[in-house]
Amino acid sequence: MALSGVRVLELAGLAPAPLCGMILADFGARVVRVDRTTHSAMATDVQGRGKRSLALDLKRPAGAAVLRRLCRGADVLIEPFRHGVLSKLGRKDENPYAPLNLLADFAGGGVMCAMGIVSALYERTRSGKGQVIDASMVEGVAYLSSFLWKSQKLGLWNRPRGENLLDSGAPFYETYKTSDGKYMAVGAIEPQFYEQLIKGLNLDSDELPSQLSFSDWPEMKKKFASIFAQKTQAEWCSIFDGTDACVTPVLSFDDVASHQHNKQRSSFIKNDQEEISPRPAPLLSRTPAVPSFKRDPFIGEHTEEILLEYGFTEQEITKLYSDKVIEFGKPKANL
């Protein structure tokens, strides 16, 4: 895979750092998650796919020393703490809407961090030098929203919130409830797509106001809502499937993986525990990601294996364990 041979240390945290580590693991990197020992509280990482776990008490000097030694053998260190924390260890009832933590935590944080890491690894092949990637979720989201900043002069965002083209102000860019309590998403911005929407709703465009008549948008939204409420989601799908109306069902988790589009592209995968998750993206033609199908690691499951791999002796490991600097987390047998 593209990142085969790259060694990554990920200090356990929440949301952005685990996603970043999972992306690198999906594309071939050997990712070690440095977990807190169990006598320290730690939330479960549901993004542990393809990682191994080493349980280490970083608050103790011996634990910090172990981490510094691990870093000497790694290519990448991912740390999720506030600025200054790591330096102590040795270096400095409404319609559906998008889950907003996807923007900051995952897109602005995890994905941007992964992009920065890959960029730095590529640059290292020329300079032979490493560097620090400072991935700020706030700045990451700002960068993702470049279109919003650079399109302000186009008149797309000059009205109050909720009254603009792309923020649910337009009747043709909204979600509508169906008669069976489900929803349809509408994104028919281009005139030719809007015409298909109007046709599917069994309306006559000659009897309607102009598509971009802002003053008529509130009434048009009411009209569209009343029409969508007359049929089930399945009925609307049968009307709009195969058209360019940009009208699609808002799917539940259970329905997404079985949707025909996703089935044809094999967009979702199952691990050994039959848990469904999205396939890594983007899809590389020669060296595609091959995600692990094993269960996520238990905290400390690979502590001894990893330390031996990084050059620690059996005696050193035994001493660290007796001093409670590290822990071993072996899976329990299912009897």
Q: Which two tokens stand for residue 42?
A: 């730690």
SS3 content of the chain, % helix, strand, coil (to 5): 40, 15, 50
Amino acid at residue number 261: H
Give me the phi and psi of 20, to 5 degrees please.
Answer: -60, -45
Q: Are 169 and 217 in contact (CB under 8 A)?
A: yes
Rounded distance, CA 234 to CA 167, Å? 26
- For tokens 């924390």, the residue is 85
Residue 296 annotated to the active site: no
Q: Which two tokens stand for residue 253?
A: 């988790």
Tokens of 191: 């005139």
- Residue 96: name the closest of 163, 179, 175, 164 by CA: 175
The 10 Å Cβ neighbour count of residue 142 is 13
Peptide bond between residue 160 and the one before it cis (omega within 30 degrees of 0): no
Question: Using an 8 Å Cβ cutoff, are 223 and 201 in contact?
Answer: no
Question: Catalytic pick from 26, 35, 75, 105?
Answer: 105
Cα torsion 242, 171, 100, 146 to 10°: value is 90
Q: What is the DSSP string of 226-295?
A: HHHTTS-HHHHHHHHTTSSS-EEEE--HHHHTTSHHHHHHT-EEE-TT--EEEPPSS--SSS------SP
The whole-angstrom separation of Cα 9 and Cα 71 is 7
182 close to 235: Cβ distance less than 8 angstroms: no
Show which residues are catalytic.
Answer: 105
